[in-house]
């Protein structure tokens, strides 16, 4: 097939694309029929990628303050400020805040520079906001952050349970695959407080009370036990069950109590239990509705408990499946780009620190986790972080309580930004801006939700003076004094090193292992076909824990708070079908912008009446953190007492619709993931 095989810029489905340049900055985009993630399908965002690759708004030269600078001057300044800050205040006085938009090679070099050479764990990523509860849940249950599912499981499942996921809009090609299987007879249950497009055609929609997911899953597990559906043989062979796990679980888990807690009809709940009982080949897909919660990790473990206890894991068509938001959230997890992991799926155990330090030949090594995103920006506000490098992300919009994040950035003595766009909401706070290459110019790898590594390939030369992120980071490393250790010439050099680190002192202890790629040649790397690492994980019933067994993790439903008199509503936030993050790319496509032209607050008609709102009128949504104006859309799919706003609009596009100002910066205690889904409003 003519054209360049590459991967979509957007979500974690990781669809393969064939891109054919049709002009200096124009390309025809088709789905790659040979890519196992999508077999040629694309959603609206992927289809219209060709409309978003012009150069309008791009940052094309390094900038120091508001003045154009040479690369040498800009890189020297970043290196000098980081070196000085570390010398004066210690390694933990600096931080990187990076992104699931980076390619794995970029991520690897950033993680190596911060953890091995600067010597701090202070590198965190915007993936903290999207799937870190899934990571924490996987580690608690399996001993390692492994997604035990593949898209082939979708083709073999008889029952899909979608929890906290509007897949029809947010993971459309996965959803199309689910629908195709449903057309062949599989059943679909959607668990979501909102009635979304994903619910159309579902066999059952449970509009549970937000935050009651643990009660629901525990109730189902208790029912499975009573109905003899627990796989005792699998538990005996492969799963450690803590003392009193069942006694604790079964308290308050009768059907009526669960229905009351979740605020659903008992008959609907019974129907869900029956569907689960009748279809052992179940795939439970979960996304932000589970992860972006103050109890996200417990909610993940409630789902994993259910699959482990019923043996619905490690078999084709039976799996819990965390579907990731960003194109390379998974690659970031693999290199250790989260502050809570060291590198290559290793934690900060002393032997891991010693091994990674030896492997890198580094002068130092981070010996403890760094600050997670919310704590990191708090530390900036408190003056504990004095130099920050933001790469490929816009925390002034996307972090919870974004107003406080802006105030923190304004106080930070030094902020460097690697960016594709000239003006973002972070621009006013940047002392240095480094122009980075974007999709269609970058070269490297990404990992999708099912652990499949695919190549992203360039179809255009880097515009202006833009450079690849890995190059920018290694040049700063070189200028900080580590020229030999950051002597990469091409992404393949970095990928080989990343693969070797994954095997170093591994001996099968960790499933993340790229042994087949440690000696990959440059030409092979160029031609690399998509491949899945880890194969069919857990098919042998063995888990990467010291005793080889998974863990059931006792989790209980926390009491749900009644609405406060001053803040009687609950704000939920999320994506639109045709927009991505803060719209710096999708906002360039007129066709994508037609789907939703402005930010709406979706309100149940009875709430609208109570607040004197009319369809198409304006509403000011306020929370203890901030307020913003939205166009009102009456929506019977909203539960009473709950409103929904989109995450995409920023200062650049609109004076209203600023959802980022509204959520609290409260986080899940295990993962540090913010609870975006339930802000008193
Ligand atoms: Fe791109 Fe995701 Fe759409 Fe696939 S489903 S085309 S990866 S946005």
The architecture of the domain spanning 570-680 is Beta Barrel (2.40)
Q: Is the ipTM of this complex over 0.90?
A: yes
Atom of ligand 1 at shortest range from CA of 47 = 6
Atom of ligand 1 at shortest range from CA of 172 = 5
Are the folds of 63-127+338-532 and 570-680 the same? no
- Distances in Å between the Cα of 279 and the Cα atoms of 40, 274, 282, 283, 361 are 29, 9, 6, 10, 52
Q: What distance in angstroms lies between residue 29's CA and the mean position of ligand 1's atoms? A: 12
Alpha-carbon span 182 to 198, nearest angstrom? 13
- Amino acid 250: pLDDT: 84
Domain boundaries, the chain: 4-52, 63-127+338-532, 132-323, 570-680
What residues contact residue 585 under an 8 Å CB cut-off, 6+ apart? 9, 52, 438, 439
CATH topology of domain 63-127+338-532: Rossmann fold (3.40.50)
Candidates 216, 205, 105; CA nearest to 447 is 105
Nearest CA to ligand 1 atom 4: 15
Tokens of 408: 């923190």
For CA atoms 510, 515, 517, 520, the dihedral sign is positive
Contact by Cβ (8 Å): 191, 206: yes
- Amino acid 533: pLDDT: 97
Length in residues, the chain: 681
- Amino acid 1: pLDDT: 60
Nearest CA to ligand 1 atom 3: 43
Nearest CA to ligand 1 atom 2: 11
Q: What distance in angstroms lies between residue 11's CA and the mean position of ligand 1's atoms? A: 5
**Which CATH class, in words, describes the domain spanning 132-323?**
alpha beta
Task: Count other C-beta atoms under 10 Å from residue 460's C-beta.
Answer: 18
The pick from 30, 45, 176, 179 for probing ligand 1's pocket by mutation, whose C-beta has the most ligand atoms within 8 angstroms, reads 45
User: Span 4-52: which CATH code?
Assistant: 3.30.200.210
Query: Which letter, b or e, does each residue of 19-30 get, where b requires 16 or more Cβ atoms within 10 Å of its Cβ?
Result: bebeeeeebebb
- Residue 390 pairs in a beta bridge with 97, 417
Q: What distance in angstroms lies between residue 46's CA and the mean position of ligand 1's atoms? A: 5
Task: Report, as ranges of residue numbers, the positions in the chain whose pLDDT lies below 50.
Answer: none
Degrees, nearest 5: CA angle 39-42-46: 135
The pick from 12, 13, 14 for probing ligand 1's pocket by mutation, whose C-beta has the most ligand atoms within 8 angstroms, reads 13
Atom of ligand 1 at shortest range from CA of 9 = 1
Q: What distance in angstroms lies between residue 173's CA and the mean position of ligand 1's atoms? A: 6
Contact by Cβ (8 Å): 153, 312: no
Query: Which letter, b or e, does each residue of 634-654 get, where b requires 16 or more Cβ atoms within 10 Å of its Cβ?
Result: bbebbbebbbbbbbbbbbbbb
Degrees, nearest 5: CA angle 296-302-305: 140
Atom of ligand 1 at shortest range from CA of 38 = 4
- The number of CA neighbours under 13 Å toward the Cβ of 526 is 6
The pick from 9, 10, 585 for probing ligand 1's pocket by mutation, whose C-beta has the most ligand atoms within 8 angstroms, reads 10
- Residue 532 pairs in a beta bridge with 452
Contact by Cβ (8 Å): 114, 302: no
- Residue 387 pairs in a beta bridge with 94, 414
DSSP for 493-526, please give it. HHHHHHHHHHHTTTTTSSS---GGGTT--HHHHH
Alpha-carbon span 526 to 458, nearest angstrom? 11
Q: Which residues line ligand 1 (CB under 6 A)?
A: 8, 10-11, 13-15, 38, 42-43, 45-46, 171-173
- Distances in Å between the Cα of 268 and the Cα atoms of 146, 216, 230, 271, 283 are 32, 12, 22, 5, 19
Atom of ligand 1 at shortest range from CA of 11 = 2
Phi then psi for residue 629, to 5 deg, are: -95, 140
Q: What distance in angstroms lies between residue 14's CA and the mean position of ligand 1's atoms? A: 6
Q: What distance in angstroms lies between residue 32's CA and the mean position of ligand 1's atoms? A: 12
Alpha-carbon span 80 to 463, nearest angstrom? 27
Q: What distance in angstroms lies between residue 336's CA and the mean position of ligand 1's atoms? A: 25
Q: What distance in angstroms lies between residue 13's CA and the mean position of ligand 1's atoms? A: 6
Q: Using N-to-C axis directions, what is the helix angle for 104-111 and 469-479, rounded to 10°?
A: 20
Q: What distance in angstroms lies between residue 110's CA and the mean position of ligand 1's atoms? A: 26
Q: What distance in angstroms lies between residue 3's CA and the mean position of ligand 1's atoms? A: 19
Q: What distance in angstroms lies between residue 341's CA and the mean position of ligand 1's atoms? A: 28
Alpha-carbon span 452 to 204, nearest angstrom? 31
The pick from 6, 7, 8 for probing ligand 1's pocket by mutation, whose C-beta has the most ligand atoms within 8 angstroms, reads 8
Alpha-carbon span 275 to 185, nearest angstrom? 13
């Amino acid at each position: 097939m003519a054209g360049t095989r590459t991967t979509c810029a957007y979500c974690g489905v990781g669809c393969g694309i064939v891109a054919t340049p049709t002009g200096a900055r124009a390309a025809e985009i088709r789905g790659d029929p040979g890519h196992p993630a999508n077999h040629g399908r694309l959603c609206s965002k992927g289809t219209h990628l060709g409309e978003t690759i012009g150069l309008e708004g791009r940052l094309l030269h390094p900038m120091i303050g508001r003045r154009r600078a040479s690369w040498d001057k800009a890189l020297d300044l970043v290196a000098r400020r980081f070196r000085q800050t570390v010398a004066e205040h210690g390694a933990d006085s600096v931080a990187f805040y990076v992104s699931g938009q980076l390619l794995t090679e970029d991520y690897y070099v950033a993680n190596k520079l911060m953890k091995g050479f600067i010597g701090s764990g202070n590198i965190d990523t915007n993936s903290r906001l999207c799937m870190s509860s899934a990571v924490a849940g996987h580690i608690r249950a399996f001993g390692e952050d492994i997604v035990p599912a593949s898209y082939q499981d979708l083709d073999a499942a008889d029952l899909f349970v979608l929890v906290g996921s509007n897949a029809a809009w947010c993971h459309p090609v996965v959803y199309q695959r689910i629908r195709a299987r449903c057309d062949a007879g599989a059943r679909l249950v959607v668990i979501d407080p909102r009635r979304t497009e994903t619910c159309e055609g579902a066999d059952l929609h449970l509009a549970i009370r937000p935050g009651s997911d643990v009660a629901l899953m525990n109730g189902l597990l208790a029912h499975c036990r009573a109905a003899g559906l627990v796989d005792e043989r699998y538990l005996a062979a492969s799963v450690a069950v803590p003392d009193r796990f069942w006694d604790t679980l079964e308290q308050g888990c009768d059907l009526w109590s669960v229905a009351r807690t979740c605020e659903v009809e008992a008959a609907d709940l019974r129907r869900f239990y029956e569907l689960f009982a009748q279809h052992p080949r179940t795939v439970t897909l979960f996304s932000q509705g589970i992860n972006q919660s103050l109890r996200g990790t417990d909610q993940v473990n409630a789902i994993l408990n259910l699959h482990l206890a019923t043996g619905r894991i490690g078999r084709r068509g039976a799996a819990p499946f965390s579907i990731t938001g960003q194109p390379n959230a998974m690659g970031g997890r693999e290199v250790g780009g989260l502050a809570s992991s060291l590198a290559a799926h290793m934690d900060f155990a002393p032997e891991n620190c010693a091994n990674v330090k030896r492997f890198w030949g580094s002068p130092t090594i981070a010996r403890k986790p760094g600050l997670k995103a919310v704590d990191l920006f708090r530390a900036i506000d408190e003056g504990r972080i004095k130099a920050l490098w933001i790469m490929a992300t816009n925390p002034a919009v996307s972090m919870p309580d974004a107003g406080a994040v802006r105030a923190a950035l304004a106080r930070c003595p030094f902020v460097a930004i690697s960016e594709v766009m000239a003006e973002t909401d972070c621009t006013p706070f940047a002392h240095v801006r480094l122009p980075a290459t974007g999709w269609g110019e970058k070269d490297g790898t990404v990992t999708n939700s099912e652990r499949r590594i695919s190549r992203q390939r360039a179809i255009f030369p880097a515009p202006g003076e833009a450079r690849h992120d890995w190059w920018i980071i290694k040049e700063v490393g070189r200028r900080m004094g580590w020229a030999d250790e950051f002597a990469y010439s091409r992404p393949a050099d970095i990928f080989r090193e990343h693969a070797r680190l994954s095997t170093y002192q591994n001996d099968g202890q960790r499933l993340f292992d790229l042994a087949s790629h440690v000696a990959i040649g440059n030409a092979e790397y160029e031609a690399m076909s998509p491949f899945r690492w880890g194969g069919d994980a857990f098919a042998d019933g063995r888990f990467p824990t010291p005793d080889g067994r998974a863990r059931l993790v006792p989790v209980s439903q926390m009491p749900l708070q009644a609405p406060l008199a001053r803040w009687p509503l609950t704000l939920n936030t999320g994506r639109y079908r045709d927009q991505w993050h803060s719209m710096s790319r999708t906002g360039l496509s007129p066709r994508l912008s037609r789907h939703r032209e402005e930010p709406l607050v979706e309100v149940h008609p009875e709430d609208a009446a109570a607040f004197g709102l009319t369809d198409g009128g304006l509403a000011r949504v306020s929370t203890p953190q901030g307020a913003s104006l939205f166009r009102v859309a009456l929506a019977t799919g909203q539960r009473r007492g709950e409103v929904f706003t989109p995450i995409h609009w920023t200062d650049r596009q609109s004076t209203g619709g600023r959802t980022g100002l509204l959520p609290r910066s409260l986080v899940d205690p295990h993962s540090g993931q913010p609870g975006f889904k339930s802000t008193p409003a």
